[in-house]
Amino acid sequence: MAGLSSICRICLSMALLLTNLFTHAQPVIHIGAPLPFTGKLALEAAKQQRGYELWADIINKQGGIDIGGRNHAVRIVYIDYQSDSAKAREAVETLVGKDNVNLLFAPYGSMAAREASAVAQKHHVPMIAVTASSYQAYSRGHKYLFGIFTPNETLIEPLMDLVKQTLPLTDKVALLVRKDLFPLSIAREVKISSQKREMNIVLYSPYAIDASDHSLALQQLKNLRPNWIFALGYTADLIFLRQQMAKLDITAPVLTMIAAPAYQEFIDAVGPLAENVTSAAWWHPAVQYTGSDIFGTTANFVQAFQNRYGKLPDYVEASAALAGVLFQLSLERAESIEGELVRNELAKINETTFWGPVRFGQNGQNNALIPLVFQIQQSKPVIIYPTAVATGKLLLGVK
């Protein structure tokens, strides 16, 4: 009996120890991250994941996020929606309904973010869109969606002014446009800006998301000889388009591609064909901001990214890390993980961060940042606008 009593005391002690461990275990914030890990947008998915993971790892190494006096670890819950915007909403429903995430990073791009925002609104789960700039993504009045990118016209208007100043006789513009929300929305802004400046759209050629042959449109392009060619799509599309243009010996004083030239993968893939291609983006590692976030300065973020991944970050990777920073600030200020309270703190954000200024307008979209215009020169992106951070001037002619 004495032996049995000793065993019972040991069992009781172990039970009390386990109870104590579970009682004092660090709570966890679960953030849902629907991404197109497979399909044509897989490269873009990897970029967002790198930004998320960098932020989350730093936070967890520092002990977590202080929410109401208790540190919470961060766990990111991923799901693949296979580069199909129609499946993005279903993926977000799974994250909210099955995985019980507290917060959401939006899927890639404007179309998928627009679809997913309905789920965030329905369940009162705050969502930050890392890569959604088209006004349509924010047009449904959903109060739980917040977007880091400024509207598309903030990319196009400065670019139009810059080219018009450098090439006053520009009057023939051609557009090759992927049939997807972001490229189509950018094309809309190009049309509006062209009309304001009495420039003619001589070709408007939309192409299917899975298009593998652009020869017919490119032959039309070659015959029309426009002053300015806009090719709008995602990385794989624009690599292929640029290579086909070269095969057909299509040249122009100005060639603009959005958004692939912002990525080193584009420059590596097309090599010399990247030379003098212009583009625009919301961020570049050359800018210098000082903020109150965990990175502190742009330079600190760039260094942390390089230490982890061995390369410079691009604007998607930086935007993804910023989304984590903004959630962190809002959770700390809300002193709660309750969706409505966190949402209300996000709506109040007016910060300068390592990325730059962030202030959300009535529709939830950032309206504080001045995007950059850049050009690939000698295989490197050179900022040509705004003047305050410019490192070069616009050069004409692509071969």
Report pLDDT digits (tens) over 132-147.
998 889 999 999 999 9
Kindly indicate the confidence band of residue 398, based on its pLDDT and cuts at 50, 70 and 90. confident
90: pLDDT strictly greater than 80: yes
Calpha distance 223→253 (Å, rounded): 15
User: What local confidence, expressed as pLDDT, does residue 73 receive?
Assistant: 98
Pairwise pLDDT comparison (323 vs 216), residue with the higher score: 323
User: What local confidence, expressed as pLDDT, does residue 24 receive?
Assistant: 56
Range with the poorest average pLDDT among 16-30, 236-250, 284-298: 16-30
Kindly indicate the confidence band of residue 12, based on its pLDDT and cuts at 50, 70 and 90. very low
In the predicted model, what is the mean pLDDT of residues 16-29?
61
pTM for the whole thing? Answer: 0.84
User: What local confidence, expressed as pLDDT, does residue 286 receive?
Assistant: 83
Kindly indicate the confidence band of residue 18, based on its pLDDT and cuts at 50, 70 and 90. very low
Instruction: Supply the mean pLDDT for the chain.
Output: 91
185 within 8 A of 136, measured Cβ to Cβ: yes
In the predicted model, what is the mean pLDDT of residues 220-226?
93
366 within 8 A of 356, measured Cβ to Cβ: no
123: pLDDT strictly greater than 50: yes
247: pLDDT strictly greater than 90: yes
Burial track 215-251 (b if 16+ CB lie within 10 A, e otherwise): eebbeebeeeebbbbbbbbbbbbbbbbbeebeeeebe
Kindly indicate the confidence band of residue 259, based on its pLDDT and cuts at 50, 70 and 90. confident
Task: Name the residue with tokens 């330079």.
Answer: 299
Instruction: Express as a percent the part of the chain with pLDDT over 70.
Output: 94
* Helices 235-247, 42-61: crossing angle, 10 deg rounding: 140
User: What local confidence, expressed as pLDDT, does residue 196 receive?
Assistant: 92
Q: What is the largest CA-CA distance in the chain?
A: 102
Calpha distance 189→176 (Å, rounded): 14
329: pLDDT strictly greater than 90: yes
76 within 8 A of 57, measured Cβ to Cβ: no
Calpha distance 140→355 (Å, rounded): 27
Report pLDDT digits (tens) over 139-194.
999 999 999 999 989 999 999 999 989 888 788 999 999 998 889 999 999 999 99
Q: Per DSSP, which regions of the chain are E strands?
A: 28-35, 65-67, 70-80, 103-105, 127-129, 145-147, 172-178, 200-207, 228-232, 254-258, 278-281, 350-352, 357-359, 372-377, 380-385
Calpha distance 357→280 (Å, rounded): 17
In the predicted model, what is the mean pLDDT of residues 62-83?
96
205: pLDDT strictly greater than 60: yes
298: pLDDT strictly greater than 80: yes
Kindly indicate the confidence band of residue 322, based on its pLDDT and cuts at 50, 70 and 90. very high
User: What local confidence, expressed as pLDDT, does residue 20 receive?
Assistant: 42
Domain architecture of the chain: domains with CATH:
28-150+286-359 (3.40.50.2300), 153-281+372-389 (3.40.50.2300)
Calpha distance 61→243 (Å, rounded): 44
In the predicted model, what is the mean pLDDT of residues 224-251?
94
Report pLDDT digits (tens) over 29-67.
999 999 999 998 999 999 999 999 999 999 999 999 999
Kindly indicate the confidence band of residue 21, based on its pLDDT and cuts at 50, 70 and 90. very low
User: What local confidence, expressed as pLDDT, does residue 10 receive?
Assistant: 47
